[in-house]
Structures are given as C-alpha cells and as structure tokens.
Structure 1
Amino acid sequence: MVPALRRHHQRPVTVAGLLKRAFAALVAVIVIGGTVGVIAAGPAYRSTNQGLAEGARTRTANQEVRLTLARAALALYGYQLTGEVAYRFDYQAARTAYDGALARLVRVAGAQDQAHVDDLREHGQNWWALADPQMAAPPGRRPTGGEVAATQVRYAQAVAAAQALDRRLTDRAGRLFRTINQLNVAALIGLTALTLLGMAVVALVGSMVTRRITSPLGQVATLVEELSRGHSDARVSITGAPVEIMAVAAAVNNAANQEFQERRMLEQCRGLNVAIREPMSRAASLTTAARGLGDLLDADHVVIVGAPEGDDAVAEVWSAPDAEGDPTALARTPVDWALPGDGVFVAAAVPDEGETLPEAERAALLAAGAGPVITLASGEGADATGHVTVVRRAGKPAFTPFDVQCVTMVAGALGRALTQARLFEQERRLVARLKEVDAAKTEFLSTVSHELRTPLTSVTGYMEVLLDQDAGPLNAAQQRMLRVIERNAERLRSLIEDLLIVSRIESDASTLNTESVDVAALMAATCLAFDPAATKAGVTLVCAAEGPLPVRGDPEQLDRVLMNLLSNAVKFSPDGGTVTVAARAEGTDILITVRDTGIGIPDDEVPHLFTRFFRASNATRREIAGTGLGLPIVAAIVDRHGGTITVATREGQGTTFTVRLPRETAATEESRSPDE
C-alpha cells in the first residue's frame, strides 16, 4: 500500500494557481532585469553608434576627396607627357568632382575634425593653384623641373593631410569599438547575473512545485506501476495536494477497482472463446457459448441463433435453474434491424410498444420475463444470419459496457467457430468425394490401358507378319503404309505404357526394387543406347560423369528417368544442337543434369511442366509429338526415391533439368532394413 501524503490548507490549492505564481515570479525577474539593463546601457549604445556612423560618413567623404585628387594628378601627368586633349577633360571632371567631395567632407565632419579638414582643403588648393596653369599650357609645352617638383610636393602634402584625417578617424573608431566591447561585456555580465537570478527563482519555484505537485503525482505514478505489476489491491490516499491531483488519484483508484473486475471477466471471456473453438461441431459450440455466457453474466436466459443448416436455423436456448419466463419464442424471432458488428441493442428494461424494437421481438422478450437485455446481431458473412440475446429478470442490475464487449467477443468467436465447423464438414465431404473420383480415374486408366494392350498386340503381330512378307510379297507403297502403321502403333504402345506407369505410381501399386545403383554407369549405358537416335536427329550427345556415384534406388525406374529426360532433350533440340548429360557428387547428394539447346519453355508455363498431359505451347505449335506424361513420371519416380527435380529454361535458348538424389553411404547401407 502506497503511503499517504498529509497536508492541511485552509483554501484548496490548484495546480493552475501554483504555476501562475511561479511564472509570475519568473516573468517579474526577467522584466525588471531587462528594464534596468535597457535604461543603463541604452544611452551609451546610442552615443557610441552615433559616433561610429559620423566617423564612417567622414571617412567615406575623405576617401572620395583623395580619389578625385589622384584622378586629377593622373590626368595632369598624362597631359604633360602626351599632350593629348582628352586628359584635359579628365582633369576638369576631377576638378568638379573634387569641389563636391570637399563640400561633403566639410558638411559631414564633426567639430573635432574641422582643423584636419581645413588643413586638407588648404593643401589641396595649393596643389590646384600649381596644376591649373600647367594644364592650361598649350600641348607640347613641358613644365620645368622646378614646376614639376613643386607640384609633387604640394600633392604629397595634400595626400598626407588626407591620410592624417583618416588615421584620426580610424583611431576614434577603434576607441568607439572598444567602448562597445566594454558595453557588451557589461551586458553579458548583467545577462549572466539575470540568468543566475532567474535560475535561482526557477530552482526555488521548482522546489516548491516539487513539494506541492510532483510528490503527490509520484505517489499516483507508483500506484500505476504497482497495478501494472499485477498488484491489483494497491491504492493511494492523498490529502492536502492540489485538487486536480486528488481528483486524478481518486480516478485511478476507481479505475483500479473497475480494471480488476474487468480483467477477471476478460480472462473468463477468453477462456470461453477458447472453449467455443475447440469442438468441430456446430451444436457443441452453440451449447458451450450459451452456457458460458449465462454463467459469466449472471443471466436468466441466453438464446443463440446460428446460420441455418438446411431449412431450419440452428438455435440454442439456455436458462438458469431458477429462471422465470419462456425464452423459446426468441429462438424463432428474426433480428432484421441490424447487420453483424453494427447491430447491438442494450436496454435496462424492455421498451414500450412502438419504440426501438419490432413488435415480435418485444413480445418474445416480455414472454421471457426480460428486464435488462442485450441483443447482438451476428452472422458468418455480410448478412445477419443469427443473433445472441442475453436476458436478466426485472430488478437485476443493468448490463455494463464491458458486459456488452464480452458478448461481442463471444459472438465473434462463435461466428468463427461455426464457420470453421461448417468448412470442416464441407472439406471432409469434398476430400472423400475427391478420393472417390481419383480412385475411379486411376482404375479407369488402368483398365483402359490393359484393355488396349491386347488388341494392340494383335495389330503389331499381324503387322510384323505382313512386313516380313510371310503372307505374300508387298510393293513399295504397301511397305510405306505399313511402316506408318508400325510407327503409330509404337507411339500408342508407348502411351499405354506411360498410362500404366502413372496408374501404378498414383495407386502405390508399383514397388521399388531398391539396390545400390552407380549413376555414372547407368548414365553411360543410357547415353550409349541413345547415341543412334541423337545421331539420326543431328544432335551432338555429350555425357560426363565423375567416378562412382552410388545411390539407393530401383535401377529400372532410374533408367526410365534418364531415358525420358534424354528423349525430351533430343526431341526438342534442332538439327546441329547439343545435349549434355552430366552427373557429379555434391555433399550428401548426387546431381544429374540434362541440358539441351532446344526450343525452351515459356516462363508462364514452367509451373505446369510436371502436370499430366501438359505440353508447352511452343511444342504444340511446332507439332512435335508427345503425350505430356514423361515429365510427370520422372517427377513421381524422383520423389519416390527421396529426391527433387528442378528446371531452368528460357524460350528459344534451351532447358536444363537437374535431378538431386540422396547419395548412398556406408551409414545408409548399414541402416537399410533386411527386407528392403
């Protein structure tokens, strides 16, 4: 149990009041400190900024005077050297600009700089007094050395006066910047002091808030943590705290009480849902759901109507031992006013006539002696095929929202259970029917194949007699026709043989006569037997095997695997193509690959390759003979030997089949049973 916090105040304390006082104190510190700082530093900053602005304007005007004076000097020297009239225009332009620049300098310069400005003006005028006569001289007249020297001296004096003024301005700007820096340092110190003061106020306020707010909140948080750890009996008692926190504590206590009750009920609902799904019988699921809801919700009657089976709806009616009223009418009353998931009717008592419910359902509820009632539309699809109704007698407590949630959960679980049971029954019947159909098909194939072999044997026998000319001589046309009959009879015999093999494999009538088989030797024999057929088709047959490759299997059926794969490879390879057969050991397996350079198989048809009677579309278009049984037989034989077969192909570029069989080792030989 969390200890209580005991404080007594005459007036209720609120969190909002505490925060308002705290923020008011903080704002007061900031406003007072800021106001004092502005009053103290404002005039100094304004004076310093004014001095900097005046110095900058004076410095700009001084530089303009120096620049125009330099332009005039360059024009004078150029005219004296070349005599070009254009230099006179440059000189006059500079003379005019100089007067304007000097006037601006006099106007913007402060009183403390007027002496230096006058000095600059005097030296400038002295230079212009010497320069004007020289510029007025006719072209070609060069000044004397004395004139040039005097002009240069006066120009240097004017430049020196301008430089002296610039240095004075620079020094004063430096002093002003140092003053600004000092002001900034003072402002920083003041801001730091203000910040420290604010921090102190915040710390003081925070300490107070911690005592008055966070401590009670900590108790509430501790309660929540205790509840989350499963201590459902934990509660908190707080007095003297802000009213909001006390309200939160009371709400948490109430929620803890309700959560404890709801958790227990939720666990019972979940247990009921599991119990409903266990049987695969619709009737058993309905019975379990009705009895469970009745016990769980302290109900008098529970009526559940499920989806119909045949012409009649499946209904389950449960009543408590001491229940009054007859609920059977509810089982025959349709709920047409709602859809599954949306249709929920909850009432503390049966409504009056003409309100909410259809009259038939209202009458059925009254016959059941209903007081509080929950009716929930349910179904196994988009339609309301049934409903769940839970009834308490008049005078009992009304159903809570959590009671409604529990009924909803159970109704959903029941719907899934009924659907699962129905599907299970349908699947069981379908599997039985498919087994019957498959057995009949297999028996039909076996019977037809056996029945076809007898007349085919007679046909081939008489055909051999005719070809041997025991019944008389044959002309060339008759021999050609008999050869055609012989080839087609051989195709028919091969088809019948394949059908018989498929029938035996699928019916498990074919047994494996297993023994140790060397795949390398078996492959060599098969390649030797197929070499004439490959040569006749113009296909190069390449066989490669690495040493003894033992597997445990039926040599006759493994030979059929190789024969079928080689037959397809040669048949689908064009004249000049190549068929490569290879075998090698890889870990605990033996790999057999048959690669051709034939027509390949379209990508979308590869998944159907091992389906009976399936033939690739490009083979059908080329009218290449085949039954579509060779690869299914190969796949079945490989599977019976515990192996796998895969295919890699690209249309127009060939196909590669890879057979993977378990490699025989000394351990497998020792573990083989004596009867094998």
Structure 2
Amino acid sequence: MPVKVTFAANGWYSLPMTSTASILRVGFGALVALLLGLGAARLAVGHYLTHDVDATITRAAGASDANAALLQVLTDAETGLRGYQLTGEPSFLQPYRLGVARYPEERDAVLEAADSDTLRTLVVAEIARADAWLAFTAPSAALPESPSDGTASAALQPAVSVQGKALFDQLRAANARVGVELTAQRADAVNRFRLISTVSDTVTASLTVLAVGVVLLLGLRTRRLLITPLENIRTTLTLLGRGDRTARGRDTGPPEVRQVVRALNELADESERLHSHEAGRARIRQQAHDLGASVRGSLDEDAILGEVTVGLGVALGVDHVYVRLADGTGPTGADRLWTRAGLAPPSADALREATAAPEWPRGCAWRNATPPPTEPPEPGAQALAARVLDTTNAQSCLLTGFSVDGELSGLLVLIQADAARAWTDDERALVEAVAADTGRGLHVAQIYAHQRELAERFQDLDRQKTDFISTVSHELRTPLTSILGYLEILLSGDQGDLSESQHRSLSIIERNAERLRELVGDLLTLSRIDANSLELAATRVEVSALIDRVQGTLGPAAAEAGLTLDCARADGFAVVGDVRQLERALLNVVGNALKFTPAGGSVRVSARAAGAERVVIEVADTGMGIPADDQDKLFQPFQRASNAVTSAIQGTGLGLAITRSIVERHGGDVALASAVDQGTTLTLSLPRAAATAPVTTDEATDPRAAAIAAAKARALARASTSTSS
C-alpha cells in the first residue's frame, strides 16, 4: 500500500494520521523483527565461531603436534645415529631404526594436516629435507658391525657428522618454517575470531540501539497520538464537570481518540441542549408560578385580567392575548385585549364575535394558517381557532377555556400574527395553568366584591342600628328619669297616703321603669363600645376600694334577698384603668351572681395575684349554674342562658357582653366556669398597676354613675325579692 506524505508549510513532512492500533502493530512488528534479527545474527556468529574457527584452530593444533612429532622422531633417529657414529656401538642404532620406522606415519600425518597450499608447500619441502637426510644416513646405518675397537666408525665419523648435521639442520629449519606457518594459521584464526566477535558485537549494539530507537519512537509517537489527546479529553471533562457547558474537545489524534472526542462533544452538545431545554422549562414553570401567584394574590378583576394578558404576552412572546368572559360571569366590557408594542390591535368586537362558540374547549387547542389544511376544520375547538385566524389574519393561535366548579367561565386566546408556530408541551401547560388560575382568581375576586358589598351594607346597617339605639336611648332617658322621680315622690307619701293596692301598683311601675332605665344605660354603653367612643381614663385603681364600693352598692340588696355577699379584703392589689367602667363591669358580674342565686345562697368576691403582672378578681356563686352549651355565647349581646329564660328571671343579656368589652379594653380577659345546680365562677384578669400610677379616690367617681349604681341596686333587690316570692 503506498504511503502518502504531506508537506507542511514549515517544510516538514508528516505521514497521514493512522490508527493507534496500526501504529502499535507496525512498531511492535519492527521491534520483534529487530529482536529476531539480533538473535539470528548472534546465533549465526556463535555457530561460525564454534564450527569454523574452532575447527581451524583444532586442525592447526593437530598439524603442529604432527610436525613436532615428525621432528621428534627424526631427532631421536639423528641422536641414535650420532651415538653410533661416535661409539661404533650398534645398539645406538636402535633409536635410529625406530625413528625411520615411525617416519612414514608421522610424515603422512603432517601431510594430511596441511590444509592450505602454503602449508602443503612447506610440508613438502620439510619432507624432502627429511628424505634427503634419511637417504644420506641410510648407508651409514647399514654398515656391518665392526669390532669393538671402533676403527670403522672412526673412519666414517668426520664426513658423516659434518654433512649429516648440515642436512639435519636444513630439516630443522624446514620444520621450523612449518611450525611458524601453523602458528600463523592459529593466530589468523584467533584474529578472525576477534574480528567476527567485534563485528558481531557492533552489529548487536547497532541492532540494540535501533531497537531502543524504535521503542523511543514508538513511545513518542504513542505519546503524541494518545497522551496529548487524552489530556485534552481530561481537560474538557474537567471543564464540563465545573459547569462550563461550552467546553469542547479538539478533534485531534488517532481515529479511535477522535471518535471518543466526537462522542464526548456530542454528549456535551446533548447535555447543553437538555440543560437549555430544562432551563426553558424551569423558566416557564417559574413564569407560570409567578403569574399564578399574582393572579391568586389579587382580588380585583381588572387587575387579574391585566396580569394575565401582559404576563402571557411577555412570557411567550406572542403578538396578541385576548381574554373573553362568559356572558353573565363578569361586568359588561370586562373582556381584555393586549397587543405587543408596535403592532395594531385587532378588533375586540370582531374577536368577541369570532369566539361566540356554543362551547369553548376545556384544554389547549392550536392551529396554524400555513400550510392550509386540506380538509375543512372539524367543529369545535379547531373551527373556533380557524375563525380567530380568519378574523385577525394571523398565522397561529392557541386557545383554551377556563372554568370554575366545572362550569366554563371564560376563554383565553394567544395569537401569533407574523409566523406559524409549533406550541410546545411546556407552553401549553403554562397556558392551561394560567387559565386555571385565572378562572379561580376571577371567581374569588367576584366573591370578594360581592362580600365587600355585603360587608359595606352590613356596616351601614350597623351604623344605622347604633345611631338608632343611641337616639332612642337618649330619648328614653329623660322621660324615664321624670317617671322614676315622680314615682319616688308618690311612694314616699309626700303627695298623700297610698292604699295597699296603689302602693303595690306603683312599686311594679317603679321596678319595670328601673329595668327599662337599666336597659337604656346598657344600650348606651354598648353603642359607645361599638362606635369606639367609650372614653377610658388611665388611673391607678385599688382593687380593695373597688370591691368595697361594689359591696356597699349591692350589699343591702343581697341581704334583702336573703343572700350572703362575702367580699374578701384585697389589700396591695391595684390596676390601671377607668374606675367607673371597672366598677360597672364588676357590678354586672356580682349583680348577675346575686340575680341567679336563690335565697340562702352566697356570692364570694376575692382578688389574687397571677404572677407579677396580673391581678385576678374572682366572683363565685352557689346559684343555678349555666348549661355547657350556653357558656360560649353568653358574652354576645342579647344572649341569655336557657335555664334563666325557662325560670323567667329578668335580664337583658347585655351585662356579660359589656363586661368583657370593658375588661378587654383594659388589656384583660374574662373566663367563665360553671355547672348546672353547682354555681358559677367568673374571673376578671387585669394588668397589675405599677407603684407610680396615679391614685383614684372616691371623690373622682361621677355622681351620676353613683346614682345609677344605687338605682340598679334597688332594682336588683326588688327583682330578687320578686323572684324569690
């Protein structure tokens, strides 16, 4: 496969990017080939050194040994011959004859060991010298044995010795030359071994360096192809993990890494898309929540319609928002149309006519003008949407109805004038949620408006009632005062003596007139409380003095009715308030206790501290008690206990209501505990006065209030007497 080379602008060239697997395969293949080549070279060199050099050295050593053996055999022969020549003793020829006998074997061994031309030439020359010496010495060795005097040997000795020595020296020289040649061959083999070893080591080192280079190149290539792109991927993942959704990996590196980078970038793109989508959904949900909260928090229909139209128009970027209320569900002209700035609004009347459908959709329905539908719209929501598009010349609209308690009360229409639009599920959910809140908000606003109207009417009626009670009370007070005054004169006998029947009749008139005056006084007090015109003085009131005044006022009436009024001393307790109103409240409570306690019973008034900041005045009686079902309503005006009504005990039902109002205006509270036929305990809890509060004396009491209190005591005594009888 041809390799394509790309030249860069800087003059360098680079191979095309291949896969990491291919690079690793090529690199490791080259490395394995180098290692195999290195091993094969070492094996070949070892084989050569083992079989060639060793064989050469072995042959050279064998030839050297054979050459030495040849020389040794001939030397032994020459020594024996020389002994014979010197002594003439035939026994000295024994070594000579043995050497001559061994000479052929040693000669052949040397010839066989001569494996080169040079060595063979030298060996041949050596053998020639040996043959010459042997030929020369043969006659001498073949002479007959002589007598022991040695005359024959002496005759041969000079000539034989000189010439024979010369021939043997030549033999020695030839043998030495063969030895030198053999030594040279061994040295040449050793040098060749060293050379081959050096070359082998050099080749091995070169191949090792080349292998290391391949490994380094492979490592650098792998680092450039893998480490840098992987570092890029790691950096991208770190940035993405820190929230940088714009981080993307560079599309570099081998194909496998580029595929990973592309997958990572696609994942980041998808994550960013999902995040944007979720952010959009969260924004729409927040807008729906905020808009719904605004609608639910408003009690004005006009403000609700304004919030809905403007809020939806801005949140969804539409051109027009129209809200139509069903006939009879809102004020006339309550329909609302909002138009984006810079656009001409469509006709509200035309929209009202276009949306005059027999039934509006309960869910979202939307329609686009383009492309035009191939079939006429179906009746219902689509037909309604088509009419809206035709009326406004718009490209898209979305509409939904809203209801209250299952009954459709309005229609919400969103119009896109300039382009078709695919309304998303989140947008439709937003519109439906806002429509539902709109229906509920308008319903609540209508109920609130109706309740406000009723409240205003009730307040007007209450003011009229208060004015009527105040007017009637004032108008009745003057004639009642005159009647009671003249009755007192008549009953005193100043106008003459009265018969028993006349006295009884006038007493009945006086008793009922006192009741009427008590009722008028209570009504006046109640009207002042309701009108918030009851004036209260802020002075120090000693509780003991207050209880003493009540005892002084109601004590005679209690004794006359056969009741025991026990007022315990309450020294050291004081409250801050209006002494007249507090006395009125306590008179009401003690008076009720006396009124509803039969003869022989008792009423006890006491005071105690409740912590450091409260004083409790307790009134306990042994009277008829109050049913549990009646106790909660007794503090309302004109409410009386059912057993009191059944027993025909007179009363207006205003005393406890006035008492609680007075006590609460002083920062206190009233508590009631009662059981039928077991008596009633009523407690007044009031804030305790500081030591520096101004003191109220008896002289500060209004004379009119004292007179009224005395009259009430007399009326109470008469009422108790009448009840007992």
Same-fold call, TM cutoff 0.5:
yes
Give me the whole-angstrom Cα distance separating, in 2, the residues matched to 1:618 and 1:518. Answer: 36
Give me the whole-angstrom Cα distance separating, in 1, the residues matched to 2:644 and 2:560. Answer: 20
> Which amino acid counterpart does residue 520 of structure 1 have in structure 2?
S
Give me the whole-angstrom Cα distance separating, in 1, the residues matched to 2:492 and 2:601. Answer: 36
For the 8 Å contact 1:223–1:236, the answer to whether it is kept is: no
Give me the whole-angstrom Cα distance separating, in 2, the residues matched to 1:240 and 1:578. Answer: 103
Moved more, 306-315 or 442-451: 306-315
Equivalent in the alignment of 2:617: 592
In structure 2, do the counterparts of structure 1 residues 395 and 455 end up closer, same or farther at CA, with 3 Å as the change threshold?
closer
Give me the whole-angstrom Cα distance separating, in 2, the residues matched to 1:384 and 1:8. Answer: 69
In structure 2, do the counterparts of structure 1 residues 573 and 470 end up closer, same or farther at CA, with 3 Å as the change threshold?
closer
| Partner of residue 574 from structure 1, selected from 585, 598, 622 | 598
In structure 2, do the counterparts of structure 1 residues 245 and 421 end up closer, same or farther at CA, with 3 Å as the change threshold?
same
**TM-score, normalised by the number of residues in structure 1:** 0.59
Equivalent in the alignment of 1:345: 365
2:667 matched to 1:642? yes
| 2:406 alignment partner, SS class | coil
> Which amino acid counterpart does residue 386 of structure 2 have in structure 1?
R
Deviations 1:53-104 (A, max 9, x none): xxxxxxxxxxxxxxxxxxxxxxxxxxxxxxxxxxxxxxxxxxxxxxxxxxxx
Equivalent in the alignment of 1:400: 424
Give me the whole-angstrom Cα distance separating, in 2, the residues matched to 1:558 and 1:621. Answer: 30
Aligned residues: 451
| 1:512 alignment partner, SS class | coil
Q: Give 1:638 deviation, angstroms.
A: 0.8
In structure 2, do the counterparts of structure 1 residues 563 and 357 end up closer, same or farther at CA, with 3 Å as the change threshold?
same
For the 8 Å contact 1:232–1:260, the answer to whether it is kept is: no
Equivalent in the alignment of 1:150: none
| 1:661 alignment partner, SS class | strand
| 2:588 alignment partner, SS class | helix
Moved more, 319-328 or 392-401: 319-328
For the 8 Å contact 2:360–2:380, the answer to whether it is kept is: no
For the 8 Å contact 1:540–1:579, the answer to whether it is kept is: yes
Q: Give 1:295 deviation, angstroms.
A: 2.6
Equivalent in the alignment of 1:285: 304
Deviations 1:206-250 (A, max 9, x none): xxxxxxxxxxxxx9x9999977xxx77689999989xx9999988
> Which amino acid counterpart does residue 300 of structure 1 have in structure 2?
D
For the 8 Å contact 2:360–2:411, the answer to whether it is kept is: no
Q: Give 1:365 deviation, angstroms.
A: 2.9
2:651 matched to 1:626? yes
2:279 matched to 1:260? yes
Q: Give 1:380 deviation, angstroms.
A: 4.4
Deviations 1:373-429 (A, max 9, x none): 221111344311111111224743311011111212322343344345434433443
Deviations 1:540-575 (A, max 9, x none): 322224422111111111111111101111111233
Give me the whole-angstrom Cα distance separating, in 2, the residues matched to 1:373 and 1:636. Answer: 62
Give me the whole-angstrom Cα distance separating, in 2, the residues matched to 1:660 and 1:257. Answer: 65
Q: Give 1:648 deviation, angstroms.
A: 1.7
> Which amino acid counterpart does residue 351 of structure 2 have in structure 1?
L
For the 8 Å contact 1:294–1:318, the answer to whether it is kept is: yes
| 1:379 alignment partner, SS class | strand
Give me the whole-angstrom Cα distance separating, in 2, the residues matched to 1:253 and 1:554. Answer: 75
Give me the whole-angstrom Cα distance separating, in 1, the residues matched to 2:560 and 2:238. Answer: 91
Give me the whole-angstrom Cα distance separating, in 2, the residues matched to 1:233 and 1:331. Answer: 49
2:335 matched to 1:315? yes
Give me the whole-angstrom Cα distance separating, in 2, the residues matched to 1:369 and 1:598. Answer: 86
| 1:503 alignment partner, SS class | helix
Equivalent in the alignment of 1:145: none
Give me the whole-angstrom Cα distance separating, in 1, the residues matched to 2:499 and 2:345. Answer: 103
For the 8 Å contact 1:327–1:365, the answer to whether it is kept is: no
In structure 2, do the counterparts of structure 1 residues 343 and 661 end up closer, same or farther at CA, with 3 Å as the change threshold?
same
Equivalent in the alignment of 1:607: 632
2:540 matched to 1:520? no
Deviations 1:465-492 (A, max 9, x none): 3323444432222222222222112111
In structure 2, do the counterparts of structure 1 residues 569 and 402 end up closer, same or farther at CA, with 3 Å as the change threshold?
same
Deviations 1:229-272 (A, max 9, x none): xx77689999989xx99999887554323102222333344444
| 2:334 alignment partner, SS class | strand
Equivalent in the alignment of 1:355: 378
Equivalent in the alignment of 1:330: 351
For the 8 Å contact 1:346–1:375, the answer to whether it is kept is: yes
Runs of 5+ unmatched residues, structure 2: 1-18, 23-234, 251-256, 696-725
| 2:422 alignment partner, SS class | coil
For the 8 Å contact 1:335–1:387, the answer to whether it is kept is: no
| Partner of residue 439 from structure 1, selected from 444, 460, 463 | 463
For the aligned residues, what is the CA RMSD? Answer: 3.8
For the 8 Å contact 1:304–1:317, the answer to whether it is kept is: yes
Residue pairs, 1:70-469, within 5 angstroms: 254-274=273-293, 276=295, 280-306=299-325, 308=328, 312=332, 314-321=334-341, 326=346, 328=348, 329-332=350-353, 333-334=355-356, 336-338=358-360, 342-349=362-369, 352-357=375-380, 359=383, 362-393=386-417, 395-469=419-493
| 2:677 alignment partner, SS class | coil
| 2:390 alignment partner, SS class | helix
Give me the whole-angstrom Cα distance separating, in 2, the residues matched to 1:382 and 1:224. Answer: 49
| 1:642 alignment partner, SS class | coil
Give me the whole-angstrom Cα distance separating, in 2, the residues matched to 1:257 and 1:8. Answer: 37
Equivalent in the alignment of 1:486: 510
> Which amino acid counterpart does residue 527 of structure 1 have in structure 2?
Q
In structure 2, do the counterparts of structure 1 residues 394 and 520 end up closer, same or farther at CA, with 3 Å as the change threshold?
same
| 1:655 alignment partner, SS class | strand
Deviations 1:584-603 (A, max 9, x none): 12220111111122222222
Give me the whole-angstrom Cα distance separating, in 1, the residues matched to 2:644 and 2:241. Answer: 73
In structure 2, do the counterparts of structure 1 residues 544 and 465 end up closer, same or farther at CA, with 3 Å as the change threshold?
closer
Give me the whole-angstrom Cα distance separating, in 1, the residues matched to 2:504 and 2:532. Answer: 42
In structure 2, do the counterparts of structure 1 residues 608 and 8 end up closer, same or farther at CA, with 3 Å as the change threshold?
farther
2:683 matched to 1:658? yes
Identity of aligned residues (%): 36
In structure 2, do the counterparts of structure 1 residues 593 and 334 end up closer, same or farther at CA, with 3 Å as the change threshold?
farther
In structure 2, do the counterparts of structure 1 residues 471 and 537 end up closer, same or farther at CA, with 3 Å as the change threshold?
closer
For the 8 Å contact 1:605–1:616, the answer to whether it is kept is: yes
Deviations 1:84-132 (A, max 9, x none): xxxxxxxxxxxxxxxxxxxxxxxxxxxxxxxxxxxxxxxxxxxxxxxxx
Q: Give 1:279 deviation, angstroms.
A: 5.9
Give me the whole-angstrom Cα distance separating, in 2, the residues matched to 1:449 and 1:224. Answer: 85
| 2:568 alignment partner, SS class | strand
For the 8 Å contact 1:544–1:581, the answer to whether it is kept is: yes
In structure 2, do the counterparts of structure 1 residues 537 and 257 end up closer, same or farther at CA, with 3 Å as the change threshold?
same
Give me the whole-angstrom Cα distance separating, in 1, the residues matched to 2:267 and 2:624. Answer: 79
> Which amino acid counterpart does residue 353 of structure 1 have in structure 2?
P
Runs of 5+ unmatched residues, structure 1: 1-6, 11-218, 671-676
In structure 2, do the counterparts of structure 1 residues 403 and 223 end up closer, same or farther at CA, with 3 Å as the change threshold?
farther
